[in-house]
Structure 1
Amino acid sequence: MTYQTILLDHSGHVARITLNRPERLNSFTRQMHGELSDALHQAADARVIVLTGAGRGFCAGQDLNDRAVAPGEAVDLGETVEESWNPLVRRLATIPQPVIARVNGVAAGAGANIALACDLVVAARSAKFIQSFSALGLIPDSGGSWHLPRLVGQARALGLALTGEPLSAEQAAAWGLIWKCVDDDALDAETDKLAQKLASLPPLGLAAIKNLVRTSSQRTLDQELDLQRDEMRRLGFTADYREGVAAFLEKRSPTFTGR
């Protein structure tokens, strides 16, 4: 597929996907959803995926012009959510690779919630997260009403969703909404450093960590302990575990193959 609304770049074990509609703050159209879905498929052989936006914003959510609906006309928003946003959130949650959101500017509406659906969020200090739904009489979709209370608690989730007030990246990090806030001029270096670190680690172990943490709320403590036992048994028989132990004992850098 030839992309018109995103950019895809492979460098080593890292795939970088850039939402590329800067003139519209990288707001999503149906075409962008299709291209991003294809890019995530093309990045299946990468060990780490970085998702970011071109220009001065990360993503402003849904491009309202894409629906081509005249003011005052009714539109089935549930269809857009079911066809485009829900599959994307599910994809980000279930692909085995760690996904890093590099938030370079405003992340609003579904754009904010797509960032929060990623595994790690690194944001520039000038970035802002805005739950802009209430001003339109809507709810935080794209996983927002699920992620927000789990990340920051009910009181703060309600405050963000009901008021739509912008939340600075610094405050988002202090609240535990995102992994890290960095100075604007350090965003590229910090994101690249994190991506390279993850890419150097055993991919099977990272995939297992992602799966266990993301699904732990579905299990009781006893079920979790049993699953931990099973995963430790499985991972203990991998070549990567043997390589990690050998490298530690031999005082050398390990080379992991994902086997």
Structure 2
Amino acid sequence: MTTDALPTFETIRLALQGGVATLTLNRPQRLNAAPPQMFDEIRAALQQLPGLGARALLITGEGRAFCSGADLAGRGDAPATGRGAGTFRALTQHYNPTMLALAKLDMPVVTAVNGVAAGIGCSLALAADFTVAARSAYFLEAFVNIGLVPDGGTTWMLARQIGKARATEMMMLGERIPAEKAEAWGLIHAAVDDAELMARAGALAERLANGPTRAYSLMRQGLIRAMAQTYEEGLATEAAHQAQCADSADAREGGMAFLEKRKAQFKGA
């Protein structure tokens, strides 16, 4: 598909190479600070990916940052009092629906974190199946420094990804977590040399794009459900998902490839 055939946006850029869609946050002059419009555009792009033939999504930021958080200056002429209602609307009508759409996306997601990932940008970076960060990058929950609480699903994610003690450290101290520390904590998939970031993240996205798409989709759904399910419920979910996968063309191809001692050629069906 040519670039001209792809949808265009004001605050993000979308590209497609093979089965990998690359979504770039594109407000480098503001370190990709995200106004509600940006998350609306991300959600619109996510909705179009399957029709474009994408089988994996790579998200990164233009310039020196991944995303420095919500664009406070972009909240307009909100009065000094009553800002809580505007913040609630921004979260429930713009940011949160996009985070949910990303969680429900029927394909693997990789984020390539270049520079700061703060606030809602941190939430976006960590919502991926695989978060790859440049060694110079860092993750920051700075809400406490301005008297606010984390949002964008951060409280839910951090407690499950790194445990209560480390989640509390990130949220209550509001200090930078360098990429290598994030890797040691198990918060991200890998910290890599800055010059290798896009190559490493891109290769991972390409590998996923060539894998069994339906199985990946059900794995994503199963992992999220497992966070709130009992063991018995988790077993039932796995059984239902396995039945769906077993009827897929990819599963038939995988079985034949195993018997024929060759590499499977998955088509995402």
TM-score by length of 2: 0.91
**2:142 aligned to which of 124, 132, 148:** 132
Alpha-carbon contact 2:211-2:268 (below 8 Å) kept: no
CA distance in 2, matches of 1:31, 1:155: 34
Residue in 2 that maps onto 1:53: 61
**RMSD between aligned residues:** 1.5
Match for residue 82 of structure 1 among 76, 92, 95: 92
| Cα separation, 1, equivalents of 2:242 and 2:37 | 42
In structure 1, C-alpha distance between the alignment counterparts of 2:76 and 2:227, rounded to whole Å: 40
Q: Matched residues in 2 for 1:226 and 1:143: separation?
A: 26
Q: How many residues align?
A: 259
Structure 2 equivalent of residue 189 of structure 1: 199
Residue 232 of structure 1: how far off its partner (Å): 2.1
What secondary structure does 2:57 align onto? strand
Is structure 2 residue 33 aligned with structure 1 residue 23? no
Whether the aligned pair in 1 keeps the contact of 2:8 and 2:14 (CA below 8 Å) is no
**Structure 1: runs of 5+ lacking an equivalent:** none
Shift, 1:18, TM fit: 0.1
The answer as to whether partners of 2:56 and 2:209 remain within 8 angstroms in 1 is: yes
> 1:217 Cα deviation (Å)?
2.4
Q: Give how far 1:186 is off.
A: 1.1
The aligned runs of 1:160-175 (5 Å cut-off) are 160-175=170-185
2:4 aligns with: none
What amino acid is aligned across from residue 30 of structure 2 in structure 1?
A: R
Q: Give the Å deviation of 1:60.
A: 0.8
For 1:43, the aligned partner's letter is: L
**CA–CA distance in structure 2, aligned partners of residues 127 and 71 of structure 1:** 34
Q: For each residue in 1:120-149, what CA deviation from the matched residue of structure 2 results, as whole angstroms up to 9, or x when unmatched? A: 100000001010101111100001111111
Deviation at 1:70, TM superposition (A): 6.5
Deviation at 1:89, TM superposition (A): 1.1
- Counterpart CA distance in 1 for 2:99 and 2:78 is 28
Is 2:161 the counterpart of 1:151? yes
State the TM-score, normalizing by the size of structure 1.
0.95
3-state SS of the aligned residue for 2:33? coil
Q: Which residue of 1 aligns with 2:219?
A: 209
Task: Work out whether 1:232 is the aligned partner of 2:242.
Answer: yes
> What is the distance in 1 between the residues matched to 2:8 and 2:251?
39
3-state SS, counterpart of residue 240 of structure 1: helix
